[in-house]
Each structure stands twice: as structure tokens, then as C-alpha cells.
Structure 1
Amino acid sequence: MRLVLFQRDECHLCDLALEVLAQARAPDFASVWIDFDNTLEALYGERVPVLRDDDTRRELDWPFDAQRVSAWLAGD
């Protein structure tokens, strides 16, 4: 599982998502900032923060809590 968190600079919801991922004890993930990337902005602009499993392309849109993240990581 290769996780990516799509986020923006100075994004309060993104900061909350980082806290939730820590609470859920999510495995390591890459942070990708969509600012100034037109392609990512078009895909994720209204949706950030978004957690994606690069292996399966599954995505988890905000809002999520630690329980939802744990279930998503388990494949539910």
C-alpha cells in the first residue's frame, strides 16, 4: 500500500486530516500539494484533503475520522 495525501498549503482541513491520520496510526504516506499544479487542481481542487492508495487507486475524501480511515485501510 502506497498512500498519498493530496492537500493545499495553509489548509485548515488538511491540518485536521493530518491529525486524524496520526490518530488512526496510518502507515507512512507521501504529501502532495496541489497548489500550482493545474492537473491536480482540476482533480482535487474542491475535494482536498484526499487520501489515495496509489496501488489500488482507491480514494478517501474528506471528511473522515480515525475509525473511517482504519476501516478504509483495512479495505472496507
Structure 2
Amino acid sequence: MSAALTLTLFGTTACHLCEECLMLTQPLQGNGIQLRQVDIVEEPDLLERYQLRIPVLRRDDTGAELDWPFSLGQLLDWLGDAVGEGN
């Protein structure tokens, strides 16, 4: 059994796209995927890095980032190895 994968969602509380991204990831949570939300407004370096890109998901295991917009299919492809894609 592999360890849970943590994804970090960079966004802000007033971002409707961030809410859409959060809803898209909900089916994955609890199935080996944990989600941590980070409000970029609280940290100036994160605000500078992500303000024009949010929402952004980052895989904590590899550091790979996925910028919005993406579909559930694209998210699953991006997470392929972590969600056991492949038979």
C-alpha cells in the first residue's frame, strides 16, 4: 500500500475558479489523495508567484504543478502513477 499523496491548492478565498478546482478534486480526496489549501494572499512570495495563475495544484511528492483550467480527465492523467492508472 502506497502512502497518501498530498496536493497543495494555491488560491484565494474570493476566487470562483479556485472553488471549481476544489470541487473537481473532491472525488479524489480520501482515496489516497489529500488536499491542502494555501491562501496566497497570506504570503507575499506566493502572491507574487501565483497571482496570475491561480488556481494551481502542486504535487508535494514531485513538485509538479498543474495550472487551471483542466478537466477531471486531465487531472487523472497528471496524477496517473499516484492514482494507480494502468492495469
The two structures share one fold, judged by TM-score above 0.5: yes
Cα distance in 1 for partners of 2:71, 2:39 equals 21
Percent of pairs identical after alignment? 38
Bigger CA radius of gyration: 2
- Cα RMSD over matched residues? 1.3
Q: Deviations over 1:40-76 (max 9, x none)?
A: 011111001000012211000000111111111115x
Runs of 4+, deviation exceeding 4 Å: none
Q: Deviations over 1:15-62 (max 9, x none)?
A: 110111124x25211100001311001111100100001221100000
Partner of 2:42: 36
State the TM-score, normalized to the length of structure 2: 0.77
Partner of 2:14: 10
Unpaired runs of at least 5, structure 2: 82-87
Q: Which amino acid aligns with 1:2?
A: T
Q: Which has the higher contact order (CA 8 A, sep 6+)?
A: 1
Equivalenced residue count is 74
State the TM-score, normalized to the length of structure 1: 0.87
